[in-house]
Structure 1
Amino acid sequence: MKIVLRSNRKKELKEQIFLKAIELFKQKGYENVSVEEITSACGIAKGTFFNHFKKKEHILLQLGNSQLELLETTVHQHSQKKLKERLQLIFADLLSIYVEYSVLLKTAISETIRSAIVMKDESNNIVKLQSQIEKIIVEALEEKSFVSDRDPRVIASILVAIYFQSLVSWASTDMTVNDITRYFQEQFEVVWEGIENGEK
């Protein structure tokens, strides 16, 4: 019981550091915020910060890591749905993180795009997301609940690409939080028509 409580407190503290850091990045700009400022704003020691994040750049990776945690849950949650609906629901759930923390996370996305160091690590999260989507498509093909002559890897790659393109558009324009899901769904429908046209 104590281990579980300690784990929960550790997770809450990590999230608190993440959100406070993003708030500071928004106010002052990513480059102008030091680790010392983050720890001071959180009321923690510098060593506590480094227990959760190796360096400042890794705060931005928490965004992708949060999505991977949610991905595992949402993949199982929608497992009984038909492939198209299941994929739409999975991506909608992932987008919900951005909607929930819209102002803070818009800054995180912008800074992640600009940071080459983080993008190297972020690409691992993208690969994991794409692999999970590909696995879902392959399972649907094997169960014959979905038929297409398109390569599952290509389908997954395109769907993940439009997902991230939606996030980039949202982060770099005046698009509202309500617009992002609709924007993604419109692109999803166009792409899905091409996938369906490729069915045997």
Structure 2
Amino acid sequence: MAGYGAAVHTGGVGSGDTVAVIGCGGVGNAAIAGASRAGARRVIAVDLDDGKLDAAERFGATDTVNSRGTDPVEAVRALTGGHGADVVIDAVGRPETYRQAFSMRDLAGTLVQVGVPEPDMRIELPLLDLFARGGALKSSWYGDCLPSRDFPVLIDLFLSGKLDLERFISETIALDDIEPAFAKMQRGEVLRSVVVV
């Protein structure tokens, strides 16, 4: 729900919008799926890992940018005719990705931070840029989800085949495999590990 809601609720993605999502793990790919489902005409996935970018295409990304060797801000601007994206979703939650998201959005665009930062992280931006760029800067706590409203919608989408939740599961594990699964998650090797007893 966090990524899906970040696109649909917090970001307000609508028909014809351009969307960029930084970070294509479970939350980022859910944001891609949400943006695609909401009618975005272009969904740009940004990540350092080609495997995650391949997965992002399966969730609805129309374009991918590997930011390991490419300036992601310039790449997103090039893909949007120089304007930047209408909505940029930071699913990583680090100062450098927040600055990238801030700069890759359209002048009237919305930045949605759904990636959770560490408590000691700080961001510094020129105040004039905050003033001059306009638009909106939003944080999204669990996708601004209201369980009574949103869970029935997601269940209906799943049951009708319009939201393939099984694609989010990278592996099933036994209870004893939790520690190695956390290590895989921290290394970015899986979207989701599900414990099966």
Q: Tell me the TM-score normalised to structure 2 length.
A: 0.23
Q: Which structure would you say has the larger Rg? A: 1
Structure richer in helix, relative to its length: 1
- More strand per residue: 2
Could you state the TM-score of these two structures normalised by the residue count of structure 1?
A: 0.23
